[in-house]
Chains A and B, each alone.
Chain A
């Protein structure tokens, strides 16, 4: 490494300026970086996709996990390019397997989630350090600029997501509308159908494409941060200045050095000569006690007395402020328990747990009681709610079909009339004829009741008590039996005339109606 060959101006920068330099670096070598990244990452993605076709998210996860491995190639290219030795694409790719080897497992596993990944990578790859040496180095390097490195990673995560989402959205927007609707429907109808896997893989591919753009920048920024840190630590800029001076003054310097050497020979010899006599300032004798030894013992104030006085002074205010605090506390100092030994306390704890279990067993009965109580309360509440809203439930919660089926189960009393076949005489027409003269209303009523009974029983008409005569007629007409309809309308007319108009039916209608009844239904009772 020759700093003079560096293609960037080496000077101490702020962390953000260094990141900017990284972006610039990545941009200068964008073609090479992106092509090499694509050439190593896309085949891996293809392989993963093929292997994990059924599990697109796993393929994505493994690919994401492998990112640090891919990052070594851009760093290699950048480190060479920094000193003007830009490798070709082929050279870079050939170097890649060799780059992969050191500490690959660590990079892919426990160091994978390190937020300062790109900042640390040069230590591993360019300096070849590992283990404790690497850690020491990282501590030194990481005294500054780790914040910027972490921010770089965080921003990178967001940039990746933004690019990926943007690509997905762009893809979605260029879909023809018909197709996207179709897609939505199919997704809605059968979300588990296998034919959507390719869509997931497509989104994986979009993520890989987003990485092609971002990853070289990420590596370059980490690298430039690292360079900046080393510039500061090792004073590369000063070194560079010196080198430049040396280059400029190359020839003159030697001459100057020789001349200077000649000039300095005399005084030096003289000083050696002066150095030979006894030392002007001899080293003090080795004192075993040092400054603490008793001195000045002949004086009125010995060193010992003065030390005691100083100690006394230092022990009193304002140097030392003592105060006595009196407070209440529990007799058992918890500190003592700890002192008694861990084994004993552990045993006590176990015994306590054991006691606790026994205690729980004893209150099992109570728990059971409360459980029963709570369940009973819940069921009671449900029952209360059902009772409170019973009208609602019968009206609106029961299905329409169910209600109709209930209605079809031949009610015995319909419209306040007995309509079961058993309640009717066997020979309807005969009974009607007998009744007609004395009680025309009963006779017609019987006939009408018999008609309703037949309609319910034989024709399975869903009659309800809310149906008026007119509606019954309409239902009969929906059966499309002309004879029945004509007869029913005739009978209903007579019945209405009698019941609501209070007009007795003409005598001639008796035979007509009974005849009609016999023709339609014969003599017997309905089945």
Chain B
């Protein structure tokens, strides 16, 4: 981006016409993407998807083998984002109250005081989320859906925007607890991080070995590009993007197709269609478009659907993956015309 020097001019602050606001929002989103790409080399699609979730106001589950930069990506996003950021390292002995907070007795005032947990933040990194048992994972259910935490009978809202970025490692089975369906459904996107290609890896190794801490990429040189209210403004602008009936129909058809698709024993719920629409809007904004086209829906369909469906046992035995079956589905659901 050539015009990344003035993105800090917040789109919400200027009271100009929606057209100008949208242009600024697009610039801001692209500047953010550019900044993230400086920190995380390669993985362009994953960066785009994370930004999609940020703009769409959804939560993200990032899955990948160790060492692909899952945590780095989230830390870079937190760095570019001026709001609060907290991180929970999920361990087998983590308790729900460690996540949400709890009441402690204050000797000085002789009464109980609420101590808020790390969820009261804007960006929450739930690192290795599948290492905690189900009861701790369930502590996130309420806050992810309703954006509030009930402590000692009081419902406390978390600050807006609120986004959970969870990471998990797909290859380890020992000592991990797979996320329950209800929890998975609350994540808007599930991203797969794959190995970088040769050129990107070369570049990454070059950069890492150049830096002072010779084992990881630095996120300190990144600039803070947006504040909490900017994110809210981005979300508002994205949700105002025009959405044609045909495209809406396409999104809903995609979601519904998973329910009676041979090869899928469990289809996606209505949250999937909602997530598809929100994701498509965010992608349209990221793309710089002024309205949503079917490509936006199709582009985020895989990330939206892959954790909401379950492969039938026959295909699992045959060794097919969810992604392969979903790609077949996307190949067969007709795109909208006229």
Contact = CB atoms under 8 A, between A and B. Distances in A.
* A and B form one complex: yes
Interface of A: 391-392, 395-396, 415-417, 445, 464-471, 496-497, 499-502
The 8 closest A-B pairs by CB, nearest first: A470-B295, A501-B291, A465-B334, A415-B337, A468-B294, A500-B244, A468-B335, A391-B262
B262 A392 contact: yes
Contacts of B298: 468, 470-471
B247 A500 contact: yes
Contacts of A468: 293-295, 298, 335
Contacts of B333: 466
A175 to B, nearest CB: 35
A470 B334 contact: no
A399 B37 CA distance: 40
6 contacts: A469-B293, A469-B294, A470-B294, A500-B292, A501-B244, A502-B244
Nearest to B241: A501
Given A392-B262, A395-B262, A395-B263, A500 B334 contact: no
A252 B334 CA distance: 128
A445 B298 CA distance: 22
A417 B328 CA distance: 22
Nearest to A394: B262
Contacts of B294: 468-470, 500
A466 B330 contact: yes
A354 to B, nearest CB: 57
Given A415-B337, A416-B334, A445-B338, A502 B242 contact: yes
Interface in B126-160: none
Contacts of B263: 392, 395-396
Given A416-B337, A468-B293, A500 B246 contact: yes
A392 B247 CA distance: 29
B338 A500 contact: no
A425 to B, nearest CB: 17
A496 B330 contact: no
B215 to A, nearest CB: 38
Contacts of A500: 242, 244, 246-247, 291-294
A469 B334 contact: no
B244 A465 contact: no
- Scoring B246, B290, B337 by chain A CB atoms within 10 A of each residue's CB, the highest score goes to B337
A303 to B, nearest CB: 100
Contacts of B335: 415, 465-469
B293 A496 contact: yes
A405 to B, nearest CB: 16
Contacts of B244: 499-502
A471 B335 CA distance: 11
Interface in B215-257: 242, 244, 246-247
- Scoring B290, B328, B331, B335 by chain A CB atoms within 10 A of each residue's CB, the highest score goes to B335
B249 to A, nearest CB: 12
Contacts of A416: 334, 337-338
Contacts of B242: 500-502
A363 B263 CA distance: 50
A243 to B, nearest CB: 84
Contacts of B247: 500
Q: For the side of the interface on B, what is the size category?
A: 20 to 34
A471 B293 CA distance: 12
A402 to B, nearest CB: 15
Interface of B: 242, 244, 246-247, 262-263, 290-295, 298, 328, 330-335, 337-338
A501 B295 contact: no
A470 B298 CA distance: 10
B295 to A, nearest CB: 4
- Scoring B292, B332, B338 by chain A CB atoms within 10 A of each residue's CB, the highest score goes to B338
Given A469-B293, A471-B298, 18 more contacts: A391-B262, A395-B262, A415-B334, A415-B335, A416-B334, A416-B338, A445-B338, A465-B335, A466-B330, A466-B335, A468-B298, A469-B294, A470-B295, A500-B244, A501-B244, A501-B291, A502-B242, A502-B244
A273 B328 CA distance: 132
A86 B306 CA distance: 89
Nearest to A442: B338
A497 B244 CA distance: 11
Contacts of B331: 464, 466
A466 B293 contact: no
A464 B327 CA distance: 14
B328 A501 contact: no
A507 to B, nearest CB: 20
Contacts of B262: 391-392, 395
Nearest to B333: A466
A466 B295 contact: no
A347 B334 CA distance: 82
Contacts of A469: 293-295, 335
A235 B3 CA distance: 122
Nearest to A467: B335
A417 B332 contact: no
Contact of A499 (B246, B290, B328, B332): B246
Nearest to A417: B337
Nearest to A471: B295
B338 A499 contact: yes
A466 B291 contact: no
A497 B293 CA distance: 9
A499 B295 CA distance: 13
A396 B312 CA distance: 13
Contacts of A499: 244, 246, 338
B293 A470 contact: yes
A497 B334 CA distance: 20
Nearest to A393: B262
- Scoring A392, A396, A468 by chain B CB atoms within 10 A of each residue's CB, the highest score goes to A468
B338 A417 contact: yes
A150 to B, nearest CB: 53
- Scoring A392, A465, A471, A500 by chain B CB atoms within 10 A of each residue's CB, the highest score goes to A500
A328 B334 CA distance: 87
B250 to A, nearest CB: 9
B116 to A, nearest CB: 44
A466 B290 contact: no
Contacts of A497: 291
Contacts of A396: 263
Contact of A395 (B291, B292, B328, B330): B328
Contacts of A465: 334-335
B338 A466 contact: no
A470 to B, nearest CB: 4
A401 to B, nearest CB: 15
A336 B88 CA distance: 101
Contacts of B328: 395
A118 to B, nearest CB: 58
Nearest to A395: B262
A300 B77 CA distance: 142
B292 A466 contact: no
A391 B329 CA distance: 13
Contacts of B293: 468-470, 496, 500
A72 B246 CA distance: 99
A470 B297 CA distance: 11
Contacts of A471: 295, 298
Contacts of A467: 335
Contacts of B292: 500
A483 B328 CA distance: 32
A497 B284 CA distance: 13
A519 B92 CA distance: 68
B337 A466 contact: no
Nearest to A389: B262
Contacts of B330: 466
A246 to B, nearest CB: 89
Contacts of A445: 338
